Structure 1
């Protein structure tokens, strides 16, 4: 791990502490998961045993990691260690909640904010250990830091975006009539890893009428000639940053639904309209509206049953959400999907999805694979 990574950890912890002080919070408690990985560059699951990073708002330099002794080896050489975060271990049979509260020292926080990934089991036992302790969510607090991607994070999103593009350009190797959705999905999952992903987190292959279900899981349905097929795929790269990209394909032969070409071009137009609307100062909901207006004007509004997008980074779904009611102004560095769709029950669905990053003058696309209706 580099000293620059340690400097990033120091900066993030101090910014979190500053935000906590402004919010009147005495300490922020962060469990294993993407928030912990963001703050200290590493995360090791602890299952039912308590692992928590405690960041005192008054003294972020006194941040401490409380974890089971048996997990300490998993942190050897980590950025957290290089950054000088203290480690306090506990043994099975000892009270980790008392250890945590003791390490917070004289501050003895009256208010602690816990991140979204802390199991209720631990929050409940922590509260029982100090009934006067006031717990509140820290998710929004941490999201404020994570929403604005730093340049190296944007580079990671661009890299994993290029990897998912390479997979989409190979879809014709596997998608054809006579194969099942599961068979195609297995090949795509292998290709995701082959093209640079750490794992294949999700592979949606939704053929024919299954495409009308936005989160359809691959099944044993045999793909037919003339079927439209929604392929929504993604996963993390080795650094933990995620891809998420959807294209809708047409299987060669057969007689496609006569409405398919029109609907596909409509969704493509809506997606371009939303991308073109991205700029600093535009609200998240205005991007949703840009896509939705195109589809509503064409008479398909009732079949656009999802939000237009979601933030992405160390999680596939994170802030900001591109949805009606979200009035947050967009800022440079925010990254999110733009994925309008039309879902006609019992017939077919169409979705086109790219990841964009807000630049100084508009959207920077992280995906470049063709959005036309590709026949395979």
Structure 2
């Protein structure tokens, strides 16, 4: 009976409620709790601005995610291009009239939040590509049109984000889009050719980087070349992670919180603080939590009958994996500092909003997993 109603789209509210992935919801709640406690620790054990703001945003956006989860998957499919176009317009607005901070012009002032459109584009590009390839027959995926059009759609926001300048986010947007292209069936040879062209062009492309971006790359190879300047952040980050040992120094006992050795620890370097306080064991448990979230998201995609839902879930799960990997590799000195937030853990309203919108579509796919989108 439930399958028949699901196929016809007539699902009652209680059936939708039962269809939610409660394991995924529980993991998101645990991650939200851990992130709130970590934010509390960054402020030295006091409930100050960042902690209050982070907790309020998590409660609001998590509640919004639950509400949007009940939206029919067909509606998410229908607004795929619209969502991309709106975020693209916001990117153009941010580049021309956006709020400036720390030498970058990335934010749009919406009065109640300074929105960073580039964070929303990470989800918008996945949704747009999932819609584009939804009706594309497998033998036409590698046609000239179906390769060129997505590449133009992907390059436009990348160029806008690079101009802000925000090289790190532009790379993550590019990776999110390329993952969906690969999942949709684009021939591997195109990725190989593109990688070869990129490698050959690398010396030429580096000449266009901003001076601080070049310094970050040089610092990655040798952090000790400027230990009190550009290399300070990554050196202190590795010291903090290493000092955590097996079980950590304990909650609210990290030197990074109380002695302020590490700047911006509440944003991209939140994992450093967490690892120092909870050690190797705590870090592994946090990774395990992310692994469950990624697995449950991919599992929802595997059970979906609509190719749009399947492609979005696989793409979003892959993107979360990329964001976590890049952030943790960055703070451990395995990658250059690129300004990649750790999903939900890092402070930032735009990043959390984008993440929760993504999980809204994932949950909608779970509820309407039997639904076939024409």
Give the structure with the larger helix fraction. Answer: 2
* TM-score after normalising by structure 2: 0.22
Give the structure with the larger strand fraction. Answer: 1
* TM-score after normalising by structure 1: 0.22
